[in-house]
Chain A
Amino acid sequence: MNSTIILETRSLNKRFGGVVAANNIDFAVRSGEFRCMIGPNGAGKSTLFAMLCGIQRADSGQIFIFGHDVTRMQAFRRVRLGVGLTFQTNRVFHELSVQENLTIPQASANLANNEAGLERLKFALDAFGIDPNDETKAVELTHNRLQWLEIAMVLAGYPTLILLDEPAAGMSSDETSKTATVLKHLNSTGLTIVVVEHDMAFVREVAQTVTILHQGQIFAEGSLTEITSNDEVRKIYLGKA
């Protein structure tokens, strides 16, 4: 693959007391990729996401996004570079309407990407069945619609790279499949997507490259076939003897 690296970490380290959450992580994602990150609980996936978007500061190492060294950059400035993030537990504005949830990100939208960004947003709203003028409070939505609303919120900022932390968590198989289909289409328009996910059915459906994290380290990386045929991976993650 010849496309440019748009997200890169170099020797990234993070400890919480005696727990090593990130241990010399060297990680790179190219423009247009759909990357899945998997690993057992406590492997450091969410911590890595938190460091990538600026919620957590790395103890050492460097993070580059679109070629900028963002290691010490505030979270909101990283977002303005064109990064979007959803959380493991969805964090839409529950007391605000669907419409407000979608208009708030637009004021800070990455205008350099507005044409493609707007198309992606329209597609996602349509595919998820979200009315952008809906005045229903978000708190009244079902779980899957909240998850979809959060993805739409992130797309409303016209990002070029999105980091999704378990976007299909708690969804039925149909909803998971729909989420995967929408994300695959968004990826086909050039949107780079990095996903942390436990649901292997989802991963199978979307992943081009899979990264396995284990004990704060990159344990393996490759196509899903390569990963699932790796005995060590089967042992630590898939639970096979």
Chain B
Amino acid sequence: MNTFAELICGGADIGRGRIFWISVGIVILLFLFYPTQTSAFRVANVAYYLLNIPLGLGMALLWGYCGVLSFGHVAYFGIAGYLYGIIAGNMSGNSLGPIAGVLGGLMASGLVAGIFGYFVFYARVQKWIIPILTLVLTLLLETFLGQTAGYQWRVGTVLLGGYNGMTGIPWFQIGNLVFDGYSFYYLCLGVVLACYFGLRMLVNSRFGQVVIAIREDELRTELLGYDVRARQWVVFVLSAMLAGLSGLLYVQWGNYITPSQVGLLQAALPVIWTAVGGTTSLLAVVISTYALNWITYTLSSQGNQYAMVIIGALLVVTMLFFPRGIIVMLAEYIGRLMPRRRALKRA
């Protein structure tokens, strides 16, 4: 059994040592005090950048650590978001509604991923086909949701809304505590920290080590006595539920969701966030997801029509010059410099 220190500081993610942890502590403190220094509008924007991080982390876990690329993980983002809207909307006025919505949304995204993943992994579908199948799923979902305009497309009292989407989705609340504005920001920050540290412990655990072994060589891992398909399935479901978590936060952030959230453009984004940061590091993906959402939002809000073109160009540059991801390669470079500096000091 690994100790807590081994799980947190293990080698499956970048970042170790006192300087690293002090830096992490400072960054967390900055985020904690940020709302006291700025406007509610900016706090809401930062909450938006943060809420996408679980989706990016799920993609890193599945693609970077397990070697399975899903090009349609936003399907689970959408499923959880819509389910939350339906459940919480129908239980409007009941303080348990949002909690039921969160549980229902997470369970639905896990269930759909479980069924889909079962057929994909237990049928031993070849790895290069999986991105296509997952993309097809999310495009089918988008097409279906897009044609749900009209009063007949409602669940209970909640209208699905077709391409206009579902509106008036309630905030999350526990008892009388409603998570809106600043409290929603802290909810997002808490979820991101829990997801990051939880996953960091997972990838450094024995389970994580086997998942990495599967990425390296599926057959070798199976011939060491591991049920490879079961582990791929578990990782797929877990990463889908992380996407679902982002979907839940998203619908609470804007109080609406549209089918475009599960469309082609949105499907490509988590793949870009992960590739740009570096698929094999959770921390790199946290940073790149935050940074790329900030860049996209900033460019779009300033009327720049080419935000997505710029993000696409960044992906191309990354693929050409930083194949293991910009942040991962930067960390590798710093790692190579450190022993030299220590050696120079000793000399």
Interface of A with B (CB < 8 Å)?
A: 53, 55, 74-76, 79-80, 84-85, 87, 91-96, 100, 103-105, 107-110, 153-154, 157
Contacts and interface: CB of A to CB of B under 8 A. Distances in A.
A32 B206 CA distance: 32
Contacts of B206: 107
Nearest to A159: B225
Interface residues of B, number: 17
- The DSSP consensus for interface residues of chain B is helix
B227 interface: yes
A108 B225 contact: yes
Interface string B213-234: 1001101111111111000000
A159 B326 CA distance: 43
7 contacts: A53-B223, A91-B219, A93-B213, A93-B220, A107-B209, A109-B225, A157-B225
B212 interface: yes
B123 to A, nearest CB: 14
Interface string B241-280: 0000000000000000000000000000000000000000
Contacts of A55: 219, 223
A157 B226 CA distance: 11
Given A93-B216, A95-B216, A104 B210 contact: yes
Nearest to B210: A104
Interface of B: 206, 209-210, 212-213, 216-217, 219-228
Contacts of A74: 222, 227
A84 B225 CA distance: 9
A96 B220 contact: no
Nearest to A154: B224
Given A91-B217, A93-B217, A95-B216, A105 B209 contact: no
A105 B224 CA distance: 5
A108 B223 contact: no
A104 B223 contact: no
A231 to B, nearest CB: 38
A109 B220 CA distance: 14
Contacts of A100: 209, 213
B221 A104 contact: yes
A109 B224 CA distance: 8
Q: Which of B206, B216, B217 has the most CB of A within 10 A?
A: B216
Contacts of B222: 74-76, 79
Contacts of A109: 225
Which of A55, A79, A93: most chain B Cβ within 10 A?
A: A93
Contacts of B226: 76, 108
Contact of A76 (B209, B212, B217, B228): B228
A201 B243 CA distance: 58
Nearest to A79: B225
A87 B228 CA distance: 18
A87 B209 CA distance: 22
Nearest to A153: B224
Contact of B220 (A91, A95, A108, A110): A91
A103 B209 contact: yes
B121 to A, nearest CB: 13
Contacts of A105: 224-225
A104 B210 CA distance: 6
A153 B226 CA distance: 14
Given A103-B209, A107-B210, A76 B216 contact: no
Contacts of B220: 87, 91-93
Contacts of A76: 222-223, 225-228
A50 B48 CA distance: 51
Nearest to A104: B213
Contacts of B223: 53, 55, 75-76, 79, 84-85
